[in-house]
Amino acid sequence: MPYDEPDATDPNMLVGVELPGTEESTRDMAYVFAEEFARLGFEKRRLMSLFKTPFYAGAHRAYLELGEAEIEKIADECLAIWGRVKFVDADTNLHSA
Amino acid sequence: MPQVYNWQLNREMEYPYQAAFPQRQFAFVFNTNRCLACQTCTMACKSTWTFNKGQEHMWWANVETKPYGGYPQHWDAKILKLLEDANPGGQVWNKQNGAARFEGMTIFEAGKKKLAPESARVLGYLPEDHEWNSPNIYEDNPKGIKGEKYKLDTEGAELPVHKTWFFYLARICNHCTYPACLAACPRKAIYKRPEDGIVLLDQEQCRGYRKCVEACPYKKSMYRGNTRISEKCIACYPRVEGTDPESNGRPMETRCMAACIGQMRLQGLVQMNNDGTWKEDRYNPIYYLVHVAKVALPLYPQLGTAPNGYYIPPRWVPRPYLRQMFGPGVDQAVERYMHPDRELLAVLQLYRRSNIIIYRYKLEEGKKIYEGTLRGQPVSIYNDTVIAYDKFDKEIFRTTIDEPVFERPALHANSI
């Protein structure tokens, strides 16, 4: 981010443009992150921390907009399916190939 | 100009050289639904290839926030506008005759119409220095304290809040089938390797005219001021060849792929036909995602370079934007990805389970272990096992579900 206030005479200054989107876009995004990372094996605590951490701006934005209770509900719904299974990987020995 | 067949456009198009295709082609599928913009891929590439003096502005791998962001700034909006100016209202896909066909102009065709002198072959533009210098300006970057270098802000940093939808787009060189950089180079310094389709720039031949920088619509060829020649992504070719010491002779995915913590990157080598289409290779995961499941689409196919980077589009983004970015297959791709069948679910489990390139997978079907709904849609889970094989048809790993998982103890949580 720039340090100073925008200079109106700067031809390269950011010009904000509103793009069409619905309220559901944020909810959809929250569902996608919750489902994808639940599929990757995240449990409730890790999933919620993904939404709570400001570093992950997309997920955190949904957390701020929808509130913790709603995010928790979404996480629970996704974990109800993907949280019940565990993915397990069995590597073959790479150096014996 | 010779005519070549571009399967992504479903038609022939003009290209400055006769068509020639590699035996195999470097290709990748990025799942944008999983990308969190952690920039680990960006830094993996930077710390491997572009950490020297004169390369400060170079990010061969980058992640930008769409729709606003871009590196260099507004690269896609600028090339799309140039094409629109060259062919007003004509940049459209025609879906009337079954399969969609692009009826507009590619950067090669528009170049012929718009450019002078005749030696100019590709429509493009040369970004200015400031467009390269701040790769994520105004995006989701925390800021430090004004005037205080190399110090953390003890009060914490506040991130900007977007008021609209957005997603993260990870990008590297697409190692195009019809590279614009190669077409534009007056020195013939850029070539496509016959064994893997990786596009390389011969630094002995380059004289730094920057025609490639101007021509590449994805802006992945970059000029280095202190050597006065250009450079570009080399697809970590020692790893792809299997000659990197770490690869132990087995072709290995690039640094940016291997570093991805969101597990959204999968890279492979697909087999090519003589006409530039992909040879059927049903159980190659990249072939499966692009040509069988059809959930992965090329980035801005209308530009005409036939890029070999494919993307699973983000599910929550308005469709008109996605159709412009990924072409007419978006609606089908999103629908299939939202309701994946058991094979697609299994193939998605291949992502980042290993750094060795997967040449083939096998699905061993198990019994159904769960049936339920998610957001009103039915979901079934099967105890399937997906097995990945390397170049020599040796098993790399197998992933199954419904079994115990080993968790690293807290004492060694961060050890590698």
- List all residues of chain A from 28 to 87 with a beta carbon under 8 Å from chain B: 28-29, 31-33, 35-37, 39-41, 50, 54-61, 64, 77-78, 80-81, 84-87
Judge contact between B68 and B143, C-beta under 8 A: no
Encoded tokens for B261: 């913590």
**Digit-coded pLDDT (tens) for B165-216:** 889 999 999 999 999 999 999 999 999 999 999 999 999 999 999 999 999 9
What is the average per-residue pLDDT within B284-305?
A: 98
Q: Which of A1, A19, A33 sits opposite B165 (nearest CB)?
A: A19
CA angle B197, B347, A25 (to 5 degrees): 95
SS3 B148: coil
The pLDDT of residue A85 is 77
Tell me the range of A14-23, A75-84, B225-234 where mean pLDDT is highest.
Answer: B225-234
Facing B34 at nearest CB: one of A36, A95, A97:
A36
Predicted pLDDT at B191 = 97
Question: Which of A16-20, A36-40, B99-103, B146-150 has the weakest average pLDDT?
Answer: A16-20
Contacts of B149 (CB under 8 A, 6+ apart): none
For residue A37, the chain B residues in CB contact (below 8 A) are 34
Contact at CB, B316 and A29, closer than 8 angstroms? yes
pLDDT of residue A20: 64
The first and second tokens of residue A26, run together, are 């944020």
Please list the alpha-helical segments (H only) found in B50-174: 75-86, 107-114, 129-133
> What kind and span of H or E run contains B331?
helix B330-338
> Which residues does B176 contact at the CB level (< 8 Å), separation at least 6?
B199, B305, B306, B307, B308
For chain A, give the percent of residues with pLDDT over 70.
Answer: 74
**pLDDT score for B145:** 72
| DSSP secondary structure letters along chain A | --SSPPPTT-TTS---------HHHHHHHHHHHHHHHHHTT--HHHHHHHHH-TTSHHHHHHHHHH-HHHHHHHHHHHHHHHTT--EEEEE--GGG-
Nearest Cα to B402, choosing from B389, B387, B383?
Answer: B383
Q: List the single residue in B138, B162, B318 with the smallest CB-CB distance to A1.
A: B138
ipTM: 0.74
Tell me the per-residue pLDDT of B271-280, one tens digit each, with 9 for 90 and over: 999 888 999 9
Question: Tokens 């060849």 appear where?
Answer: B241
